């Protein structure tokens, strides 16, 4: 019987991924390449000796155009060159620092509270309505309120990231705690484990893989929050870069900002995966064995 879901070797996945990117850039180049040439008749002013315009003459010039012309879409090469003209490293560094600080604060508060809510039903019943009210609100909805409270300094941006990611981190932690098999806890209790041992040696190791998986999603959510937070009151950050360049129809800079977010998120995800393999190595041994 064939294995389900079907898998392919890692090398083959990389080759197909490279092929997909190649096709994407080929389509981009095709849409922006100047294939079409047309002759346009332009009026050119005729200046006299004293600089006054004495008349006009018609001049015919060949103008190249593409299927999609700027500012609708720049060519891949022009977009690549634009990355070296807009101070991209500073924008990436500032947004990444905001993300890491906001994510760290959110995690340090959400994970212990989520474990406690998973263990104590009365606490869960008390706090859940508040979380249910916060969860549907998009991060951008908090921006006006935090601007009033904190101004447009770093505190406002960190607050938006925290509020936008806290509810998700809390819910993922609660669910991970509740998914621990009761038989594991009963078996440890029958073997004489204390409450502290149940927490540190049974509950946490069993819930930790799902908590980490949830936090990986929360880290990506933080990027949507920082884009909302950087719309106002800052000139540094990828959100500010995208928003401000949009005002002047700088498509290349907008695409560079968007691509930078994707690359940074991929790097963060790889770093998170490295951390996960060292924190819960037994889960990867199980996956490799299967």
* Residues in CB range of 45: below 8 A, 6 or more apart: 53, 55, 56
Q: What is the mean pLDDT of residues 6-33?
A: 87
The predicted model scores a pTM of 0.78
Instruction: Please determine, for residue 289, whether its predicted confidence score (pLDDT) is greater than 60.
Output: no
| Per-residue pLDDT at 103 | 93
Residue 40 parent element (H or E): strand 36-47
Instruction: Please determine, for residue 5, whether its predicted confidence score (pLDDT) is greater than 70.
Output: no
Instruction: Please determine, for residue 288, whether its predicted confidence score (pLDDT) is greater than 60.
Output: no
Q: Are 50 and 8 in contact (CB under 8 A)?
A: no
Q: Are 47 and 53 in contact (CB under 8 A)?
A: yes
Percent of residues, the chain, with pLDDT higher than 70: 87
Residue 217 token pair: 């999603």
pLDDT tens track for 217-255: 898 899 889 888 888 878 888 988 998 888 888 888 999
Sorted by where each begins, the domain ranges of the chain are 90-289
Nearest Cα residue to 242 out of 216, 224, 220 = 224
Q: In CATH, which of 1.10.3720.10, 3.40.50.720, 1.10.275.10, 3.40.640.10 is domain 90-289? A: 1.10.3720.10
| Per-residue pLDDT at 52 | 66
Q: What is the mean pLDDT of residues 136-142?
A: 87
């Amino acid at each position: 019987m064939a294995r389900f879901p079907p898998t392919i070797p890692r090398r083959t996945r990389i080759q197909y991924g490279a092929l997909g990117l190649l096709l994407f850039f080929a389509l981009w180049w095709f849409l922006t390449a100047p294939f079409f040439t047309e002759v346009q008749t332009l009026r050119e002013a005729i200046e006299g000796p004293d600089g006054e315009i004495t008349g006009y003459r018609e001049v015919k010039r060949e103008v190249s155009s593409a299927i999609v012309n700027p500012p609708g879409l720049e060519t891949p090469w022009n977009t690549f060159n634009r990355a070296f003209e807009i101070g991209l490293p500073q924008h990436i560094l500032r947004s990444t620092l905001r993300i890491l600080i906001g994510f760290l604060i959110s995690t340090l508060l959400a994970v212990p509270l989520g474990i406690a809510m998973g263990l104590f039903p009365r606490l869960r019943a008390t706090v859940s309505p508040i979380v249910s009210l916060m969860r549907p609100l998009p991060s951008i909805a908090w921006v006006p309120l935090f601007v009033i409270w904190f101004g447009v300094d770093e505190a406002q941006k960190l607050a938006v990231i925290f509020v936008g990611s806290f509810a998700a981190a809390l819910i993922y932690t609660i669910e991970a705690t509740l998914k621990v098999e009761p038989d594991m806890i009963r078996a440890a209790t029958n073997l004489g484990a204390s409450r502290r041992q149940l927490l540190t040696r049974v509950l946490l190791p069993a819930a930790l893989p799902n908590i980490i998986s949830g936090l990986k999603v929360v880290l990506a959510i933080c990027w949507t929050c920082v884009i909302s937070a950087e719309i106002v009151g800052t000139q540094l950050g990828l959100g500010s870069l995208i928003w401000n360049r949009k005002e002047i129809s700088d498509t290349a800079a907008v695409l560079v900002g968007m691509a930078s977010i994707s690359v940074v998120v991929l790097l963060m995800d790889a770093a998170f995966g490295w951390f996960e393999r060292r924190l819960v190595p037994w889960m990867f041994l199980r996956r490799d064995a299967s």
